[in-house]
Structure 1
Amino acid sequence: MLLSKLAKAAEKYVIEISGDCKIGQITQDSRDRTQEGLFFCISGAHFDAHRFAEDAIRNGAVALVVTRKLANFAVPQVLVSNDRAAMALMAAEFYGQPAKKLRIIGITGTKGKTTTTYFVKSILEAAGVKAGLIGTTGIMIGNQWLEGHLTTPDPIELHSILKKMVDAGVQVVCMEASAHAISMRRVEGVRFEVGCFTNLSQDHLDYFETMDKYFLAKQTFFTSGLVQNAAINADSEAGLQLIKELNIPFTKFGISENADVFARDIEITEEGVHFSLCLWDAESFPVQLKLMGMFNVYNALSAASICLMIGIVPQDIVQGLEQLHTVPGRAEVLDTNTPYKVLIDYSHSPDAMENILNSVRDFVHGKVIVVFGCGGDRDKVKRPLMGEIAGKLADYSILTSDNPRMEDPYLILSAIEKGIKTTQGVYEVIENRKDAIAKALSIAKSGDIVILAGKGDETYQEIKGVKRNFNEKQIVKELLK
């Protein structure tokens, strides 16, 4: 494909193009060895890829996309005003505009994105629709699973995935749209038939700085022309605020507020949740979820709202909701054959921690033991908040490392301790996460629930810039041998 054709796809961001050539591969990693490669010189918060243009050319790049012209390079350059947006549009063109051949659903919000995508995929399959999924747990093309690297992949990876889905006969794709991805223009040019807003609570303030800026990123998803129809959580203050800004059709879902799609007669047990799915006060259908917790009622309602908007009948929606047995790392009960339950959950924000602890409180027969930490190089404000929540809601807390990254793990633990010390909560600190898990399992008794919070289905622990193998499911299995 010619460079000029790719540039035309991003023409609203192109300032100047010097020269033309054939492009056989595209990349934003200067270390990639390419043939007829196009290298995107992305300027980030920590690195400016213009510095690595020479490396990219040495590795096969024959053209560059830049935000400032680079002297002394005898290759064509496309000068653009917005590198990330241009990359998204050019990547879509390079892979043959796969998004235009699919019906795409995007889900944004602080919590519930992953589980909602799984519910939607299950409903679509119950309706006989071949579905794809893109999110934190990876990529699913029908029943094929592929490893993912980001909640919402960068544009080059995203459009290569969408092309694979088109080639595999996928009809509908349900994907998570993170606030980072929206802010970084990763989904520029993708048209979402339905966008869903699940909720908003404190997270990612290391990047967005304030809750207002965080919310604005979510709002932009719905107000910038990317989304054609919206499903909005009407029980969320942020959801109600968002509705005021919408100029597209929308459906409201919820429990406590006046909603179009809502749940009544909710019964929560350790086996799951039973409720009546009510549609516009006209019809209701009994639903028996295999997943636990009130938060999964909201996830089910969001998925039901989405699927109603794309024409799925209620009977298929109920079947799809009921046939989903588990979501990796989301309130996932492990098969331990012990008198106590062990549950892993991705809860790594204050609100998510509160949700999972309150949920198990609804049915636990013994004590709630929680093992958790907070990620390094991320929002520091939430650390004492999570400690305070654990101290109030858990019977015993073990503070440990999550992904400390480049930070001193003991400084992170000290910040969490400041919050838990304001409560009467009983706790101890064990920095080594495997040892912390071992301690939790050793003190658990019949009827107790052990929650391993924060990492979900992650299979690594990041320490000093190195990702080390760390699979909590395997560790629990080993410790219980």
Structure 2
Amino acid sequence: MKASMNLPAIIQTLSENQLLISEFSLVEPLDIRGIVADSRQVQPGMLFVAIPGLTYDGHHFIDQAIRNGAVIVVGEQPNIEISVPYIQVADSRRALAMLSAAWHGFPARKMTVIGVTGTDGKTTTCNFIYHILKAAGIAVGMISTVNAIIGEESLDTGFHVTTPEAPQIQGLLSKMAFRKPTPITHVVLETTSHGLAQHRVAGCEYDIGVFTNITHEHLDFHGT
């Protein structure tokens, strides 16, 4: 499936998910060619989402994103005057996830999504479920912190620590849901607590949830 999206569709997606605060009035539809949250990855025609982080604030890199070719910017800060349309949202991370899902045609909705979370054992459990479903003859894919499996293809995701960012997740789900000649019907998605808290999997409607366990790890991030 060829991903595509224009400004009215962007506004609609943000509005439907109660994220839109203010929008830029523009008559032209203004198509975009991709969605990123890293200004270094911006290419001409892309939408840049500015995310305030623990170390860096993406709003400080808006000018760099525009120089690299961003044609629309989405962020949380108000009253930003720039040379391209700026859309203020309530939550940049959730906006990134929902826009990425919409950009790819909401691929998770076309599959049975099995989410696996918990402190320990997520990757092992994902592999167990994946191989059980595969042995049963089901067209199944998997996204873990180690690799992604689409049909007979195994991709080194390079994450190894946590759930990838929303654009990467939605891109992988899209390859599965729209795979030819045989689409993937079930996907096992390893879901870390950080990924949940940072809305990286927003737009992934889970059909089944698996909870392995909970221990004291990551209290520095989540608190008590």
1:152 to 133, 157, 163: 163
**Is 1:6 the equivalent of 2:10?**
yes
1:136 to 145, 157, 182: 145
1:189 and 1:153 mapped to 2: Cα distance?
14
Contact 1:7 1:90 in 2 (8 A): no
Q: What residue is the counterpart of 2:102 in the other structure? A: 93
Contact 2:120 2:214 in 1 (8 A): yes
2:165 and 2:207 mapped to 1: Cα distance?
20
Q: What residue is the counterpart of 1:308 in the other structure? A: none
Q: How far is the alpha carbon of 1:157 from its aligned partner?
A: 0.8
Q: How far is the alpha carbon of 1:160 from its aligned partner?
A: 0.7
Structure 1 residues 233-252: aligned runs within 5 Å: none
TM-score, scaled to structure 1: 0.43
Contact 1:134 1:151 in 2 (8 A): no
Q: Secondary structure at the match of 1:122?
A: helix
1:98 and 1:55 mapped to 2: Cα distance?
31
TM-score, scaled to structure 2: 0.89
Q: What residue is the counterpart of 2:191 in the other structure? A: 177
Runs of 5+ unmatched residues, structure 2:
none
Over residues 265-320 of structure 1, what are the superposed CA-to-partner deviations in whole Å (9 max), with x where a residue is unaligned? xxxxxxxxxxxxxxxxxxxxxxxxxxxxxxxxxxxxxxxxxxxxxxxxxxxxxxxx
Q: How far is the alpha carbon of 1:151 from its aligned partner?
A: 3.0
Over residues 396-429 of structure 1, what are the superposed CA-to-partner deviations in whole Å (9 max), with x where a residue is unaligned? xxxxxxxxxxxxxxxxxxxxxxxxxxxxxxxxxx
**Is 1:205 the equivalent of 2:213?**
no
Over residues 75-95 of structure 1, what are the superposed CA-to-partner deviations in whole Å (9 max), with x where a residue is unaligned? 111110111111111110011
Q: How far is the alpha carbon of 1:6 from its aligned partner?
A: 1.8
Q: How far is the alpha carbon of 1:8 from its aligned partner?
A: 1.2
**Is 1:47 the equivalent of 2:61?**
no
1:163 to 174, 180, 185: 174
Q: How far is the alpha carbon of 1:70 from its aligned partner?
A: 5.1
Q: What residue is the counterpart of 2:200 in the other structure? A: 186
Residues paired across the two proteins, number:
210
Contact 1:88 1:188 in 2 (8 A): yes
Structure 1 residues 463-478: aligned runs within 5 Å: none
Paired amino acid for 1:172: H
Contact 2:49 2:96 in 1 (8 A): yes
Q: What residue is the counterpart of 2:121 in the other structure? A: 112
Q: What residue is the counterpart of 1:342 in the other structure? A: none
Paired amino acid for 1:58: R
Q: Secondary structure at the match of 1:161?
A: helix
Paired amino acid for 2:22: E
Q: What residue is the counterpart of 1:431 in the other structure? A: none
**Is 1:23 the equivalent of 2:32?**
yes
Of 22-31 and 66-75, the range deviating more from structure 2: 66-75
Structure 1 residues 209-224: aligned runs within 5 Å: 209-210=223-224
% of aligned pairs identical? 36
Over residues 230-289 of structure 1, what are the superposed CA-to-partner deviations in whole Å (9 max), with x where a residue is unaligned? xxxxxxxxxxxxxxxxxxxxxxxxxxxxxxxxxxxxxxxxxxxxxxxxxxxxxxxxxxxx
Larger Rg: 1
Over residues 408-451 of structure 1, what are the superposed CA-to-partner deviations in whole Å (9 max), with x where a residue is unaligned? xxxxxxxxxxxxxxxxxxxxxxxxxxxxxxxxxxxxxxxxxxxx
Runs of 5+ unmatched residues, structure 1:
211-481
Runs of 4+ in 1 over 4 A off after TM superposition: none
Contact 1:154 1:186 in 2 (8 A): yes
Q: What residue is the counterpart of 1:475 in the other structure? A: none
Paired amino acid for 1:37: M
Q: CA RMSD in A?
A: 1.3
Paired amino acid for 1:156: P
2:145 and 2:42 mapped to 1: Cα distance?
27
Paired amino acid for 1:191: E
Q: Secondary structure at the match of 2:43?
A: coil
Contact 1:19 1:77 in 2 (8 A): no
Q: Secondary structure at the match of 2:163?
A: coil
Paired amino acid for 2:209: G
RCO higher in 1 or 2 (8 Å CA, sep ≥ 6)? 2
Contact 2:80 2:86 in 1 (8 A): no
1:151 and 1:172 mapped to 2: Cα distance?
21
Q: How far is the alpha carbon of 1:130 from its aligned partner?
A: 1.3
